[in-house]
Amino acid sequence: MNDVARTAGVSLKTVSRVVNGETTVDPTLVARVRAAVAALNYRRHLGASMLRRMDRRTGTIGLLIDDVGNPFSAALHRAVEDAARARGVHVLAGSLDGDPDRERELVRAFARRHADGLILAPAGADQGYLAAELPPDIPIVFVERPAAGFAGDAVLAGDASGALRAVRHLIGHGHRRIAYLGDPATHERREGYLTALEALGLHPVMIDGLRGSQAAEAATRSLLGRARPPTALFTGRNLITIGAVRALHGLGRHLDAALVGFDDFPLADLLEPAVTVVAQDPAAMGGAAARALFERIDGYAEEPREISVATTLIPRGSGEMPPTGS
């Protein structure tokens, strides 16, 4: 910048003004500065500028989600990126893999990097650590799951009510023995399942802690091998649904057992039978989270908000099959 000033024959401050697009500069000088900038291939150092600036914005937000490689998270990421791009903000993304330690570590790392804000899909059961870890001037918005022990805006999908709807759908098609397959992060969906069954005095069958598609496939196989197997399955997230589908196909029983999955997934409509799902809208959730975050960054300081993005039950066939067997 010094070199530019010298080359253009102006003061350092004038260069700064030109580079920052301030209007109060003589056009002649502006031209001279621009020429020098071009000649020297000068680029301003954002780190240094951010050091002295008032607003101290880095133009970066942190996105902490389950797995950037998972289609659901990836769709959400994309929506966040689009909203960020509209403001010229960039996205630092990180995968948590359901690991609370990783969550905390990444929050700390992004805070140290002075992200302007964070969007977090909580992995751990408690976000109390945020009080110590997160500087008060960097806002956070939770997405997918609510946070515990720390107040902040949250963008949620109405998991419990969506699950309730899914299970009622199966009940409406005559099913009484309905099993639930889930993992730690689908806790709220399990609650919806239980609510629906309890209302009718039905007996819950729950398999929990399924990490990944393969575990779900194995669990489904063993479930269907039981003496009185369930006539319908309710699966708590897309990877689990896919594992279940794989098991049903593998056993040749895909036309026997009904299935409703939480989360839509690509090609669900082309399977045989096509898979009925309760679809979340990851793009809408990402967009809502980004908007909420930018409002906070812009100074909105009211009470934490809970933003609900509706789920949709999409009947495609697998959830409308009647019970078979006894």
Check: CB of residue 39 under 8 Å from CB of residue 97.
no
Q: Which stretch binds DNA (CB under 7 A): 24-32, 133-141, 287-295, 305-313?
A: 24-32
Q: What is the rounded distance in angstroms from the CA atom of residue 164 to the CA atom of residue 277? A: 12
318 binds DNA (CB under 7 A): no
Instruction: Using the minimum distance from each CB to a second copy, give the nearer residue, 68 or 218.
Output: 68
129-148 positions binding a second copy, by CB under 8 A? 132, 135
Q: Interacting stretch for DNA, rule CB under 7 A, among 14-22, 77-85, 250-258, 300-308?
A: 14-22
Residue 24 burial (C-beta neighbours within 10 Å; 0-12, 13-18, 19+): exposed
Burial 204-225 (b: 16+ CB within 10 A, else e): ebebeebeebebbbebbbebbe
Which listed range, 6-14, 150-158, 164-172, 218-226, lies at the site for DNA (CB under 7 A)?
Answer: 6-14
Q: Does 168 bind a second copy (CB under 8 A)?
A: no
Q: Given strand 205-207, what is the order of strands in its sheet?
A: 205-207, 178-181, 232-235, 258-262, 276-279, 312-314
Cis amide bond preceding 273, omega within 30: yes
Complex with a second copy: residue 205 or 280, whichever CB lies closer? 280
Shortest distance, CB of residue 49 to a second copy, whole angstroms? 10
Cβ–Cβ under 8 Å, residues 127 and 150: yes
> Are the C-beta atoms of 189 and 216 separated by less than 8 Å?
no
- Decide: 142 and 122 in contact? Cβ < 8 Å: yes
Partner from DNA, a second copy, none contacting 10, C-beta within 5 to 8 A by type: DNA
Task: Mark 35-54 with x for binding to DNA (rule: CB under 7 A) and - for no binding.
Answer: --------xxx--xx-xxxx
Residues 266-295 that bind a second copy (CB under 8 A): 266-267, 270-272
In the list DNA, a second copy, none, the entry touching 226 (Cβ below 5 to 8 angstroms by class) is none
Two structure tokens written together for 225:
């091998």
| Alpha-carbon torsion angle 160, 258, 233, 218, nearest 10 | -140
Q: Can you tell me which of 3, 172, 249, 308 binds a second copy, judged by CB under 8 A?
A: 249
Task: Give me the residues that bind a second copy (CB under 8 A), please.
Answer: 41, 43-48, 50-51, 58, 60, 67-71, 73-75, 77-79, 81, 90-95, 109-114, 132, 135, 242, 245-246, 249, 265-267, 270-272
Task: Give me the residues that bind DNA (CB under 7 A), please.
Answer: 1-2, 10-14, 16-17, 19-20, 24-26, 28-29, 43-45, 48-49, 51-54
